[in-house]
Structure 1
Amino acid sequence: MSNNNPLIDYPDLPPFSAIKPEHVLPAVEQLVADGRARIQAVLAAGNFDYAHLVQALDEEDDRLGKAFGPAGHLNAVAQDDALRNAYNSCLPLLSEYGTEVGQNAALCAAFQSLRDSDEWGSLSEAQQKDLENTLRDFRLSGVDLPDDKKAEYMANSKRLSELTSKFSDNVLDATQAWTKQVTDEAELDGLPESAKAGAADRAAADGKDGWVLTLDAPVFIAVMSHCKNADLRKEMYTAWTTKASDQGPNAGEFDNAALMDEILALRHKQAGLLGFANYGEKSLATKMARDVQEVTVFLEDLAKRAKPQAEQELAELKAFAAEQGAEDLQPWDIGFWSERLREARYSISEEELRPWFPADTVINGMFGIVGKLFGIKFEKREDVDTWHDDVRFYELVDDDGSVRAAFYLDMYARTGKRGGAWMDDARIRRRRPDGSLQTPVAYLTCNFAPPAGGKPGLLTHDEVVTLFHEFGHGLHHMLTEQDVSGISGINGVAWDAVELPSQFLENWCWTEEGIALISSHYETGEPLPKDKLDKMLAAKNFQSAMQMVRQIEFSLFDMRIHAEYQDGLSIQEVLDEVREQVSVIQPPAFNRFPNSFGHIFAGGYAAGYYSYKWAEVLSSDAFSRFEEEGEFNEATGREFRSAILAMGGSREPMDLFKAFRGREPSVEPLLRHCGING
């Protein structure tokens, strides 16, 4: 297509076709050395005004990000052994550099001197917020500790890194240690053909007859949801829920129990060194929620509202199963009979809906929805270097004709591409030292089935929701109006608020007008039939209360073990107490779920798992204003853009939310959207 905007808009987009694995480490080594030299030069000069301190160091960070970022992206979407080795070789160097900067007391003092100077009053609100965040992060790295405590903090950090990595390794090893060979096809009765074919391929690869089942999530879910063999479901449930523990088929071999105890103890010590009463408090220092009590009250209130309906949903499931002859419903039966009840009640499946969601129709419809809401349009460009022929590059054009941002869209699964879906920044919006503006560029990555058999790419509705979710993150990054790197786009946004735009945009996948824009049969062009639409919408909230109390169980457990930690704390006892309080399904005594709960023991969700539900409240309530004023109300859409998307991390998320909604968030819209009447 023609495009009047010259490519000089993007003088520093990555030259993907020219990047070689052997380029990566030398470039990072040089840029880290440059970063160290710049810090030393800034400190030696002693001129700690905004331009010579913040902007000078930001320029180095941007250079490093633009060099290593594309290598990291390629490692995720087009990996081979050479690139993976090159990427991994950089990680220790970057980790060391980041720790070194965070612990640099002289650098922290320089930032503090700027905060204390007369110039502070002339800085913009965004610049002040960024500087406050920087000083906070220095202190959360232990920069102010005396030398002995700083050494202890550093040693604890190193040990925690080892422990959390070992936790993940144990879970992976335990997962891979269990397989089951099946030679009688009757034992797999009910298993979808695709899952059965995968099990046959695994058997062939292992040189065995029949089928080999594993604890890989898709295999486990397929068996638990569809296999009629209750004994097989029980065997797999037992193996799944005892991974990396003292129970089950590999009892004691990969046990994470001692690691979990040490992880909690060290986190508690780290929090104490920094002056917090517990790790829960430390975690919340960078989040929207004010304190542990607010999170606990929030979760317990949700549980109180959802649990009665969850109990009713479970009773209905038990009654349905009993009618089919399964009167003693066990935990390994829940998934199987839930699927049978869903089919009986709604007569609809994801596979049945695929023909009405061809990828191009969904993309163009999504652009149309976003255009109606936020006053923007999208133009495809053909003259940008990408990493694969499937990748598209679009410009985001404002209603005044200016190019506000751009993004790469990589839709389909392929060899060498990491699974899942995500948004990442290729380039952030920032004001350069020369006064010019760097426009933001995003990566939007999904893993949908590619076009095959002469048909276009056809998406399930779940995949459509995933695309909208990631595009919501992308809009947060691209529609920012902040010129300061640290609070531009999603930067500086509290962990428990960053999902607001992504979850918010999902709502248009569930409105009749929205669905009409993103769907049409790939062969006939006909709209989604009313009966299928009605069934799809009716099934939206199937067992939603049971799902909610399970998420609340995880969240309360996570917060309690971190906020109530003391020597001798029993992780299992806390979980048992939480389950007694909020759960409707009590698992068997051998269940060791915490031993593989990587989100909190090896990921970024420690004392933060509640964030999933917290952000859902914000997104549901924000959407409820559109329900009141019109799902495509132009004025409301522009206000969401200016109050939320444009602001990035420049102000506290509660202030931004109240600016849009006119009040603090209410939980009622979430309950209503989930069909919970509590």
Structure 2
Amino acid sequence: MNILNKPFDTQFHTAPFSKIKNEDFLPAIKKGIEDAKAEIDAITNNPEAPTFQNTIEALDFSGEQLDRISSIFFNLNSAETNDEIQKIAQEVSPLLSEFSNDITLNETLFKRVKAVYDAKDSLDLTTEQLTLLNKKYKGFSRNGANLPEEKKQQLRDIDKELSKLKLKFGENVLAETNKYELHITNEADLDGLPESAKEEAKQTAEQKGKDGWMITLQYPSYIPFMTYAENRELRKKLALAFGAKGFNNDALDNQDIVLKIAKLRHQRANLLGYKTHAHFVLEERMAKNPETVNTFLNDLLEKAKPAAEREFKTLSDFAKELNGIEQLQKWDGAYYSEKLKQKLFDLDDEKLKPYFKLENVINGVFTIAEKLYDLQFEEINTIDKYHDDVLTYKVTDSDGNYISVFYADFFPRAGKRNGAWMTVYKPQYVKNGENSRPHISIVCNFTKPTKTKPSLLTFNEVTTLFHEFGHALHGMLANTTYPSISGTSVFWDFVELPSQVLENWCYEKEALELFATHYETGEVIPMDLIEKIKASATFHEGMQTLRQLSFGLLDMSWHANEAPETINSVKAHEQKAFENTKLYPDVAENCMSTSFSHIFQGGYSSGYYSYKWAEVLDADAFEFFKEEGIFSKNVAQKFKDNVLSQGGTEDPMTLYKRFRGKEPQPEALLKRAGLIEK
């Protein structure tokens, strides 16, 4: 029998990665679909009248094995893919899309769900059960259950095509990232680059069987070069390659895919009775509609733009004074920002990195989780993993009770997409009286150890690790009954709160002193460096805010658009969307949308604004911690009880107000960002 179709006979029932072969996936998913269909048939053919237990609850627990197989497969497709896995993905995605439609368009099943929904006021349901019932009913009504037959078929066709297009989009971006190499043979071309980055570049060249140095589009290679390399022409060359991913009019071009995705999403929304894709998506978000999102983004833009323009002028003047640069270009931004930051704060990443050895930062984030939430992390090597780089941990509470399995995968490689993310291999839920605990993973692309140095993180990588670990805590501390509303299964504009709030500890002396020690001397990070980190935290905050807002506005321009079929040029559309947020001159050879994986491959379509939305929540939440002390057990307990453990069991604003005692105030964010007086 296929190893994926039977219960995993492993410690904590974790995925048996080393025993799974690529060829197991397609038959396992087909069998999983077959088994899940049988479970659905058992619900629809039940001769008893529909009840919450025999219909809604049964539906939520159906397809459990299929969900596990799918999560293993798609997580590997993101973190450890190859041509074979990508080919399988193109085959299984339409199958899963079709199966999902088979459920939501199943009339008999919908009738049973609707019968329970119509009787909900007389059923004496718990808050969580009521939330699940509403979610299930909306899952049908929002996905075509009320459509006539021919329109249901249209919906199926659209969904099948979208699933393939999104995969293809991601494959192209990954292939573009892996394909590009800037091969340097003259050491003078590396002037300005820190020794660690040079060593990394040399190691990359050696691995590819070349002399000299190799710079790639992977973040740990790309970012240091753009930040420190004095050779402006090479910075330009690298930046143009980075910004042209999916925009080269070749086999890996994503322009048609972007246009097709935008049009199909719009058609799908219209089919379901919504004005745009954004109207469809935002109905199930805290923001509720595109008007609220656009107002939110434009209000922030109004407050951030003057600061951003001042910062950009200062930066331009600085570059002119330093090197006679007449017009600051995109490939100059990181370089001169770093130089100006060093001048103003006498602070640069190279001074900080020795204090942020990866292992120490991991221990630091574990210690903070212990102080706040009484969690213990024990590295164990008996859990199977999909790559040697992956670290595996058993997580327990202070009484030794098993809480979660935690996987951490930190370094870039060819089979891993860029960026950082948290994901779930198995959700938490309660079944037959047993609280079944989750398997959580974070995946990053950090600076690798070299022959002479351990992995030393930039401060930005430190905050990224804390961010993803905040998501992980949301998954690990889940304590709900039903899998579909457990952990991070919350409204999308609420999901970034646990991750973003944890980043705040990176700037606090009490927290930094727990883990920021020099990797050679063991010296705790000096107070003056902590002060500089805090002082520089709002450096170029106006420009950073403008950048995030530009991405949110671009997302809305694609998805709140009432006539995407009239868009012929991805580039021209994008330029119009960026009009009010533009600081640098446009680069004709570059396009953001063609590699904007968050919205065209990931789950952020009509949702990119949520990063900023959640910043309002996180700044307000952290104010509460600061009022009582950043390690206040009282505030941490409230956050755990009302946010981290609750998943999507209630409306997020209800949960937030229960934690905070009031609605969030945007002033906390504006103060923290230095955009208004404290």
TM value normalised by structure 2: 0.86
Structure 2 CA distance for partners of 1:120 and 1:363, relative to 1, 3 Å: farther
C-alpha spacing 1:233/1:450, structure 2 compared with 1 (3 Å): closer
Pick one of 231, 234, 240 that aligns with 2:233: 231
Equivalent residue letter for 2:632: N
1:459-479 Cα deviation digits (max 9, x unpaired): 443333233222211221222
Partner of 1:35: 36
Structure 1 residue 659 displacement after superposition: 1.9
Which residue does 1:104 correspond to in 2?
106
Bigger drift between 123-132 and 356-365 goes to: 356-365
Larger CA deviation: 134-143 vs 153-162: 153-162
Alignment of 1:24-63 (within 5 A): 24-47=25-48, 48-63=50-65
SS of residue paired to 1:45: coil
Offset of residue 506 of structure 1: 1.4
* Structure 1 residues 66 and 605: CA distance shift in structure 2, 3 A: closer
Instruction: Give CA deviations for 1:305-329 in whole Å, capped at 9, x if unaligned.
Output: 1111111111111121121132412
Give, in whole Å, the separation in 1 of the partners of 2:183 and 2:416: 28
C-alpha separation between the residues in 2 aligned to 1:357 and 1:583? 34
Q: Is the 8 A contact 2:194 2:350 kept in 1?
A: no
Q: Are 2:81 and 2:415, in contact at CA under 8 Å, matched by a contact in 1? A: yes
Once the two structures are superposed, the pairs formed by residues 191-270 of structure 1 within 5 Å of their partners are: 191-192=193-194, 220-245=222-247, 250=248, 256-270=254-268
Offset at residue 505 of structure 1 (A):
1.2
Query: Hey, what does 2:303 align to over in structure 1?
Result: 305
1:203–1:209: 8 Å Cα contact kept in structure 2? yes
Distance 1:30 1:256, change over 3 A: closer
Q: Which moved more, 1:357-366 or 1:129-138?
A: 357-366
* Partner residue in 2 for 1:3: none
The residue aligned with 1:422 is 421
Matched, 1:160 2:158: no
Residue deviations 1:162-200 (CA, integer Å, cap 9, x gap): 444454455566667766666655455434556666767
CA contact (8 A) 1:283 1:607 kept: yes
Aligned 8 A contact 1:501 1:645 in 2: yes
* Structure 2: unaligned runs, 5 residues or longer: 1-8
Once residues 665 and 559 of structure 1 are traced to their aligned partners in structure 2, the CA distance between those partners, rounded to angstroms, is 24
Q: Aligned partners of 1:363, 1:210: CA distance in 2, in Å?
A: 33
After superposition, the C-alpha distances for 1:396-424 in whole angstroms (9 at most, x for unaligned) are: 215xx362612224355386873654333
Once the two structures are TM-superposed, the CA of residue 103 in structure 1 deviates from its matched residue by 2.5
- Counterparts in 2 of 1:675 and 1:180: CA distance versus 1, 3 Å: same
Change (3 A) 1:237 1:659: same
Give structure 1 stretches of 5+ with no counterpart.
1-7
Does the 8 A contact of 1:354 with 1:458 survive in 2?
A: yes
1:537 paired with 2:534, answer: yes
Task: State how 1:82-231 maps to structure 2 within 5 Å.
Answer: 90-117=92-119, 121-168=123-170, 171=173, 185-192=187-194, 220-231=222-233
Q: For residue 494 of structure 2, what is the aligned residue in structure 1? A: 497
Aligned to 1:518: 515
Aligned mates of 1:467, 1:383 — CA distance in 2: 22
Tell me, in whole angstroms, the C-alpha distance in 1 between the residues paired with 2:130 and 2:383: 37
Contact 1:264 1:565 in 2 (8 A): no
Match of 1:5 in 2: none
Structure 1 equivalent of residue 5 of structure 2 = none
Alpha-carbon distance in 1 for matches of 2:412, 2:225: 25
**Aligned partners of 2:393, 2:172: CA distance in 1, in Å?**
40
Deviates most, 225-234 or 413-422: 413-422
Listed one character per residue, the Cα deviations across residues 321-353 of structure 1 (whole Å, up to 9, x for unaligned) are 121132412313323222222222233333433
2:4 is aligned to none
Code of the residue aligned with 1:604 in structure 2: it is: G
TM-score (structure 1 length as normaliser): 0.86
Where does residue 613 of structure 2 map in the other structure? 614
Amino acid in structure 1 at the alignment position of 2:427: I
Partners of 1:227 and 1:336 within 8 A in 2: yes
- Paired letter, 2:638: E
Higher mean C-alpha displacement, 407-416 vs 607-616: 407-416
* Worse overlay, 131-140 or 112-121: 112-121
Matches within 5 A, 1:558-597: 558-566=555-563, 567-569=565-567, 575-588=574-587, 591-597=590-596
Counterparts of 1:274-289 in structure 2, within 5 Å, are 274-289=272-287
CA distance in 2, matches of 1:524, 1:188: 29
Are 2:394 and 1:397 aligned? Answer: no
SS at match of 1:315: helix
Q: Following superposition of structure 1 onto structure 2, how do residues 369-448 of structure 1 map, counting pairs within 5 Å?
A: 369-374=368-373, 376-378=374-376, 380=378, 382=380, 384-387=382-385, 391-398=391-398, 401=399, 403=401, 405-410=403-408, 412-413=410-411, 418=416, 420-432=419-431, 434-446=432-444, 448=446
Residue deviations 1:79-137 (CA, integer Å, cap 9, x gap): 68887777776545434323322322222222112212368622211111112112212
Cross-structure match for 2:294: 296
Q: Secondary structure at the match of 1:324?
A: helix
Q: CA deviation at 1:57?
A: 3.5
Matched-pair identity in %: 36
Report if the CA contact (8 A) 1:17-1:385 is conserved.
no
Moved more, 511-520 or 49-58: 49-58
Cα distance in 1 for residues equivalent to 2:122 and 2:181: 62
Instruction: Report the CA distance between 1:21 and its aligned residue.
Output: 4.8
> In structure 2, how many angstroms separate the alpha carbons of the residues matched to 1:602 and 1:346?
39
State yes or no: 1:557 paired with 2:558.
no
| Aligned 8 A contact 1:16 1:385 in 2 | no
Determine the structure 1 residue equivalent to 2:323: 325
Distance in 2 between residues matched to 1:475 and 1:183, nearest whole Å: 45
